[in-house]
Structure 1
């Protein structure tokens, strides 16, 4: 088992994926500094940047598109409390851009996840073997991440993601 605080960027992580890149999100709110202006504007106006070529979206959309073009499955599952928090509604409002880039996205109401063994942190699981843990403070500010290739932990993440994915509702059908 290798666990390290040296965390590659998302471009390196997804560019290295060969089969799958699975992302499980379990928080009702995130305080990502780069999202703060857009989130504040959305709270005020109800309008969100939906241009995949905009400065906000371009990096991610290009990264996902090139990852999917290589045949890699990119999936995002979100466990959310209902009614949705403002931040979860903001995420839902922009999810179609993620989907347009090539992500498959599903939502699971938190009340339906009570009997699923879930890791304590959000994660990316790359090719079923490499985990990128995402760590956040209590208010959702990113506090870094760490990497692990422990097979037992990777199996837990794969099992948790699969259980959530199988119960979750596809983005196009999700009506909170």
Structure 2
């Protein structure tokens, strides 16, 4: 049940992680600015040059690198419909940047997730005990976050993530269809 207390800042939760931070993404699309921004640039043909790290390095990647340098394992699993959405193609095109920063990323075709019990929202799970729910509107805009330290909720998320991870395809082996 949501409380009236704002959740801790995501960066504080990540900074407090000692062993692991896992992220499960369930949507085929998130809020997209169709008029300007990275998605629009990508639609017009822009692609990051893997050899030109300075051109694509950004604050999130620095945070990932700092976190993994502390010994925290960061894993992200994306469940995607196939054929993939245009937004998923966009995500896939620059996921190499996450991997370069130290995050492990895998993709699971939605049809291979049918037998899995999954939470209803995207989440981050820190050290198997703190869940940060990501809530979204129907069009993919952020509707805020929520934190739970309920052991049963953490167990549900840990089991769901591990089940997805066991079936998922590592980023460097996942071919877009």
Q: Same fold (TM over 0.5)?
A: yes
**Aligned residue for 2:12?**
12
Matched, 1:163 2:163: yes
**What's the secondary structure of 1:79's corresponding residue?**
strand
In 1, Cα distance between equivalents of 2:166 and 2:4: 31
CA RMSD of the aligned region, Å? 2.1
Gaps spanning 5+ residues in structure 1: where?
A: none
* Offset of residue 2 of structure 1: 9.5
**What does 1:1-176 align with in structure 2 at a 5 Å threshold?**
5-31=5-31, 37-48=37-48, 52-54=53-55, 57-176=57-176
* Structure 2: gaps spanning 5 or more residues: none
TM-superposed CA distance for 1:132, in Å, is: 0.3
Mark the CA change 1:168 to 1:43 in structure 2 (over 3 Å): closer, same or farther: same
Cα contact 2:26–2:78 (8 A) shared by 1: yes
Cα distance between partner residues in 2 of 1:87 and 1:100: 21
1:1-53: CA deviation from partner (whole Å, max 9, x where unpaired): 996652233321211100100000000000066xx610011112253476654
- Matches of 1:4 and 1:128 in 2, distance apart? 24
> Shift of the alpha carbon at 1:62?
0.9
Q: Equivalents in 2 of 1:53, 1:152: separation in Å? A: 42
- Take 2:24 and 2:42, find their aligned partners in 1: how far apart are those partners? 24
Contact 2:77 2:106 in 1 (8 A): yes
Q: Which has the higher contact order (CA 8 A, sep 6+)?
A: 1
The CA deviation at 1:66 is: 0.8
Contact persistence 2:32–2:39 (CA under 8 A):
no
Q: How many residues are treated as equivalent by the alignment?
A: 173
| Change in 2 beyond 3 A, CA 1:10/1:53 | farther
Change (3 A) 1:141 1:52: farther
Deviation (angstroms), 1:79: 0.2
Alpha-carbon distance between aligned partners in 2 of 1:2 and 1:143, rounded to the nearest angstrom: 12
Residue aligned with 1:106, SS = strand
Q: Are the counterparts in 2 of residues 5 and 145 from structure 1 also a CA contact under 8 Å?
A: no
